[in-house]
Amino acid sequence: MSKISRDEVAHLAGLARLAVTEAELDTFAGQLDQILDAVAKVGQVAADDIPPTSHAVPVTNVFREDEVRQGLTREQALAAAPAAEEDRFRVPRILSEEA
C-alpha cells in the first residue's frame, strides 16, 4: 500500500512551486514511497544501546588557540582612512537632522 498519495505529491509540488505532470505524480509517489521505506528500515536497525553520532570518525578542533596580540594604534588605523575628524573615521551623513 502506498504511503504517500498522488494528492500529497501534488500538494508538495505546489508548495515547492514545481510544475508536475500527471505521469510525474505517479512516478514521484512511487519514488517517495521507496524513500520512506528506506528511512523506516534505518529506524528499525537503530538500537537503544547505540549512541547517536554526528560523524563516523572522531573529529578534533583544528582552530588555533586564542592569543592576545597587539592591535593597531588609533594613529595607524586612521592613517588609511580617507577622512578623519576628532580621532574618528569621518563618513558621509546618510540621515537628515529631522529624525
Percent of the residues in the chain that have a pLDDT greater than 90, as a whole number: 46
Q: How far is CA 30 from CA 9, 44, 49, 92, in A?
A: 10, 21, 34, 61
How does pLDDT run across 32-63, given as a tens digit for each residue?
999 999 988 887 876 777 777 788 888 888 88
Contact in structure between 2 and 27 (CB atoms under 8 Å): no
Q: Please tell me whether the overall predicted TM-score, pTM, comes out greater than 0.75 for this model.
A: no
Residue 85 has pLDDT above 60, yes or no: yes
The whole-number pLDDT of residue 62 equals 80
Angle, nearest 10°, between helix axes 6-15 and 22-45?
100
Chain-centroid distance, C-alpha 13: 22
The predicted model gives 21-34 an average pLDDT of 92
